[in-house]
Structure 1
Amino acid sequence: MTRHVKNILFIMCDQLRFDYLSCAGHPTLRTPNIDALAARGVRFTRAYVQSPVCGASRMSFYTGRYVQSHGAAWNGFPLKVGEMTMGDYLRPLGVQTVLVGKTHMQPDAEGMERLGIDPQSIIGVRVSECGFDPYERDDGLHGIGPDGRYDPRLPRYNSYLNDKGYPGDNPWHDYANAAQGSDNELASGWAMRHARKPARVAEEDSETPYMTRRAMDFITEAGDAPWCLHLSYIKPHWPYIAPPPYNDMYSADDVIPAVKNEEERADPHPVYREFMNHLVGRNFAREEVRREVIPVYMGLIRQIDDQLGLLFGFMRERGLMDNTLIVFTSDHGDYLGDHWLGEKDLFHEPSVKIPLIVYDPSRSADATRGSVCDVLVESIDLLPTFLDSFGADPQEQSHRLEGRSLHPWLRGEHPKDWRDIVFSEYDYSMLPAAMKLGVAPRDARLFMAADRRWKYVHAVGFRPMLFDMESDPCEYRDLGANPAYAHERERLAAALSDWALRQSQRTTISERQILAGRGKSQRRGILIGVWDESETPQDLWSSYRGGG
């Protein structure tokens, strides 16, 4: 039996909370296949994203760099040409690096044009797809409004649905994300009041099974060459609507109480106040909305779990569970009414903390199977972990990669120099909160620095926020203006300042190259500051003495 890593299956859900898995303690949601993966691997309980929004978070996963480093700070903000991405690191190791599903990446079209890169060329496609070869790119956001399509690329999934007998030019919405309304009208999934109604698509034709089958198609075609497959589901991200039986698999009785407190609304931080005033926050603050939406959110998660059961069975039949490292995670969480908020965006645990399970088939990981690890982990740690899995030394790329390999923790080792603070950041310049507060785009930025107890949020132009997660694990009490906690604020502000001053842009030359190059310019004829030839070794003058 093979017991080493030959392939990587990198599974990402969209907007899946860390605590909506049965292995993470959810009282009624059952996820047996994900639980079984956790029983064979390590479940990390304190994993944080580098930004609690899809695009920025994913660009950090794919580059191994903080948002401040890669610059793609929000959905639709292009990732600049020249950023090294996952395929750029793995392909030179002989690893096919393939995408099935979502990336939410926007390519730097202006930069590509300036450099003469044809978007349709192999290089152009990879630059546009985070270094992946797109077996099937589908961000699952195919809305059409008065100004046109949100995503101008027509998905292959629409053609698939047409071929299966679902008519129209946007069956993604009309069937997969809508129910049958009254008077022959559609009940659009964009209106959350329709969440519990059954989507008009057959379950086997809905998005999650479709993408699972596409992943199986790639694996079947891949042959024996090593691969890294990024299977990136759009669900349980909105529109919150599901096909039978998942639309009514759970009921309002399964909805756990919201983590919120009236104290939070008494005198909130100005930025937090405006996020509560966003439409999604106001609606998720209503219990009727939560009781309608959350059972379907749970059903969509259960559908993912069921599909992963099929995928893992498919892999077992081919012996791939014995040589494939599997990662299960999410790009961020979902407030679902906690803290009077909906969506994601801010830094409470339901938004910024993610599920993370890593299964390593290697014998060196046998001692940690089924374990739970509570060290502070960042999403940027996965790319170094992948390099490590294929035998490359992530330290060779430390001038670019800002995360660290998780392999020591998978092997039961305990590095003494592991991080004690995690960082996340958020650019809210595109949101109504910035307009309401009169904040210029350059200043609409939030930064989080969190250790094992304290969470500090720096808000440009406003006072900070501070939470004591030991005495206040629900993060109800903002201590950002309390003079008794000035020391903790100053300590974490200093840590954030040190982090902001790190070297992050010298990406074209490594530390090792710099060390190896010290003093070499003299031996290539550059003699600076010399007064007399006797001040330097005589062989440095061999080309300058002349003859005669």
Structure 2
Amino acid sequence: MAAAKNVLWIMCDQLRFDYLSCAGHPRLHTPNIDALAARGVRFTRAYVQSPVCGPSRMSFYTGRYMRSHGSNWNGFPLRAGEPTLGDHLKDIGVRNVLVGKTHMKADIEGMARLGVDPGSIIGVHVGECGFEPFERDDGLHPDPAPRPRYDVYLREQGFDAPNPWEHWANSAEGADGGILNGWLLAHADKPARVPEEHSETPYMTRRAMDFIAAAADDDRPWCLHLSYIKPHWPYIVPAPYHDMYAPDDVPPAVRAEQERQHPHPVYGAFMDFRVSRNFADDAVRRGVIPAYMGLIKQIDDQLGVLFRFLAARGLTDSTMIVFTSDHGDYLGDHWLGEKDLFHDCSAKIPLIIADPSPAADATRGSVCNALVEAIDLAPTFLEFFGGTAKPHVMEGASLLPWLHGRRPAAWRRCVFSEYDYSMQEARLALNQPIADCRLFMVFDGRWKYIHATGFRPMLYDLVADPDEFHDRGADPQFAPERDRLRNALLDWALRDHNRITMPDARIAPYAGRQQLKSGILIGYRDEAEVAQAKARLGLA
């Protein structure tokens, strides 16, 4: 293996865990992602810490739960001073580089309070979530918005418009030559106006390769976060991917009529969203999901280009490759659209890790069913690069033991996820105070419990009911399971998550021994008692 170690961390936006052929999709073939799984470990029970882009990504980037980092929704700034993966990697000389999306919102007020210039080196580091932004593009650029570099690129290729992102990359063309808005679900079956090679996914792939080529002149190892914008809406894809899949390739919706009969109030409010009502229509699903599948197929093809590029440069054997998503997409399952709630199609994500280390040879091509959280990636990368673990800061756990065929002595029994719906119409429909618009999920591998502040809980048995059709949250028969998981949630919530400036290693020697060493002699009777205590602790 080459001496240098790098990490290529690939993240899709809104990619479901089950829309890959290696995960069993019956019609969507993803050979390059499948080949990555054959070289690594595919984790089948990986969950995000919030099923919304912004808070989910802030958990990935900090290794901390949403209740710890406080960025509860898209556009909520990550507070200045919150430690990120970039901070931990910078300490050990590793570049943390971004190509694509983060959904990071800079804490301008916090930086001003601390006297940090947002344009300075430190200000950019803080404002970009610890990333060195080789190219940042969050992928959502309706008018008005700051125009991304991608717009400049499109204009250079001759695709001029006031908003090239929307008018070319995310719009279709009507029979009369007029522009059809790609935001509208009715146009998902049409090809995007931009030629495929100039669409967002190939563009970002090339930008990742640009960075990797440039990094050859730098001795520092790197962690490159290639964060694709798709298959997130607008659901529109360029030819030939727009008609690569047909309506008959769309799997039936995973939903049951009884879900709409007396649903939990919060669930019912989300079923009433416009996007949910539209995706409840099979005609909409059959028009949109082929485009969603085409976007995924395009990503897989581009990953083939990228993986061949790495191999040609001799980097495959020194680069850990990680493939994942920030959350899933309901696509009409459970009578819902978008993401937001905690059914597996939303909160469970694909996660494949190919570790080039010889220690990982025994697990290549395997499947791991351990309960894994998105926050586990940051400590995994830190350990891979040889850094010292920081469990008082990062709440996840390194996955290297699983990759190397070693089951950790004490692994988690539950995963946790959170959701703040105060920014949603559901708050108004339910007449909830902003502070009470909180949902918490705990899942132990069988039972999924959802605490909804101000309402009864929800409970699903994924062994007896793998499709999550039957909510047992009000059934007296399942009170013991609800009590057990509520206690697990309470134990998690009460765990210390704000003591990030004092590591355990500095606390451990303090009790008793450090007091005596410092000369703080509280409660001792006389010199003899002090001498006895010092002798007992080996300080005499």
TM range (shorter): over 0.9
Q: Helix, strand or coil: the match of 2:508?
A: helix
Instruction: Quote the Cα distance in structure 2 between the aligned partners of 1:42 and 1:316.
Output: 20
2:137 is matched with which residue?
138
Residue by residue over 1:156-195, the C-alpha shift from the partner in whole angstroms, topping out at 9 and shown as x without a partner, is: 0000001110112210000000011254431011101000
The answer to whether the aligner puts 1:323 opposite 2:318 as a matched pair is yes
2:123 is matched with which residue?
124
Percent identical: 65
Residue by residue over 1:87-144, the C-alpha shift from the partner in whole angstroms, topping out at 9 and shown as x without a partner, is: 1011121111100000001111110010011001111001011101000010001011
2:453 is matched with which residue?
460
1:524 is matched with which residue?
518
One of 511, 515, 524 as aligned partner of 2:508: 515
Amino acid corresponding to residue 171 of structure 2 in structure 1: A
Residue by residue over 1:23-50, the C-alpha shift from the partner in whole angstroms, topping out at 9 and shown as x without a partner, is: 0000000100000000000000000000
Instruction: Quote the Cα distance in structure 2 between the aligned partners of 1:211 and 1:322.
Output: 23
- Choose 320-329 or 406-415, whichever is displaced more: 406-415
2:340 is matched with which residue?
345
CA contact (8 A) 1:5 1:361 kept: no
Amino acid corresponding to residue 366 of structure 1 in structure 2: D
Instruction: Quote the Cα distance in structure 2 between the aligned partners of 1:143 and 1:435.
Output: 26
The answer to whether the aligner puts 1:276 opposite 2:276 as a matched pair is no
Alpha carbons of structure 1 residues 466 and 5: separation in structure 2 relative to 1, 3 Å: farther
Q: Helix, strand or coil: the match of 2:162?
A: coil
1:70 is matched with which residue?
69
Q: Helix, strand or coil: the match of 2:509?
A: helix
Instruction: Quote the Cα distance in structure 1 between the aligned partners of 2:155 and 2:531.
Output: 78
Residue by residue over 1:444-480, the C-alpha shift from the partner in whole angstroms, topping out at 9 and shown as x without a partner, is: 0000000111000000000000000001000000000
Instruction: Quote the Cα distance in structure 2 between the aligned partners of 1:281 and 1:441.
Output: 23
Q: Kindly tell me the number of residue pairs found equivalent between the two proteins.
A: 531
Q: CA deviation at 1:80?
A: 0.7
Instruction: Quote the Cα distance in structure 1 between the aligned partners of 2:449 and 2:256.
Output: 20
Unaligned 5+ segments in structure 1 are 541-548
One of 236, 241, 244 as aligned partner of 1:241: 236
Supply the RMSD in Å over aligned alpha carbons.
Answer: 1.4
Amino acid corresponding to residue 58 of structure 1 in structure 2: R
Instruction: Quote the Cα distance in structure 1 between the aligned partners of 2:177 and 2:298.
Output: 28
1:38 is matched with which residue?
37
Q: CA deviation at 1:518?
A: 2.9
1:546 is matched with which residue?
none
Alpha carbons of structure 1 residues 330 and 4: separation in structure 2 relative to 1, 3 Å: farther
2:411 is matched with which residue?
418
1:85 is matched with which residue?
84
CA contact (8 A) 1:81 1:112 kept: yes
CA contact (8 A) 2:75 2:105 kept: yes
CA contact (8 A) 1:5 1:389 kept: no
The answer to whether the aligner puts 1:475 opposite 2:474 as a matched pair is no
Q: CA deviation at 1:3?
A: 5.9
Q: Helix, strand or coil: the match of 1:455?
A: strand
CA contact (8 A) 1:119 1:125 kept: yes
The answer to whether the aligner puts 1:494 opposite 2:487 as a matched pair is yes
Amino acid corresponding to residue 530 of structure 2 in structure 1: T
Instruction: Quote the Cα distance in structure 2 between the aligned partners of 1:534 and 1:75.
Output: 62
Q: CA deviation at 1:531?
A: 5.2
Q: CA deviation at 1:196?
A: 1.0
CA contact (8 A) 1:367 1:411 kept: yes
Instruction: Quote the Cα distance in structure 2 between the aligned partners of 1:523 and 1:28.
Output: 69
Q: CA deviation at 1:417?
A: 1.2
Instruction: Quote the Cα distance in structure 1 between the aligned partners of 2:524 and 2:320.
Output: 57
Q: CA deviation at 1:524?
A: 3.0
Amino acid corresponding to residue 338 of structure 2 in structure 1: E
Q: CA deviation at 1:530?
A: 4.5
2:9 is matched with which residue?
10
CA contact (8 A) 2:4 2:221 kept: no
Instruction: Quote the Cα distance in structure 1 between the aligned partners of 2:457 and 2:427.
Output: 16
1:443 is matched with which residue?
436
Unaligned 5+ segments in structure 2 are 535-540
2:538 is matched with which residue?
none
Amino acid corresponding to residue 371 of structure 1 in structure 2: S
CA contact (8 A) 1:4 1:322 kept: no
Instruction: Quote the Cα distance in structure 2 between the aligned partners of 1:415 and 1:326.
Output: 22
CA contact (8 A) 1:5 1:362 kept: no
TM-score, structure 1 as length reference: 0.95
Q: CA deviation at 1:354?
A: 0.1
Alpha carbons of structure 1 residues 198 and 399: separation in structure 2 relative to 1, 3 Å: same
Residue by residue over 1:48-91, the C-alpha shift from the partner in whole angstroms, topping out at 9 and shown as x without a partner, is: 00000000000000000000010001111111111111110111
TM-score, structure 2 as length reference: 0.96
The answer to whether the aligner puts 1:154 opposite 2:153 as a matched pair is no
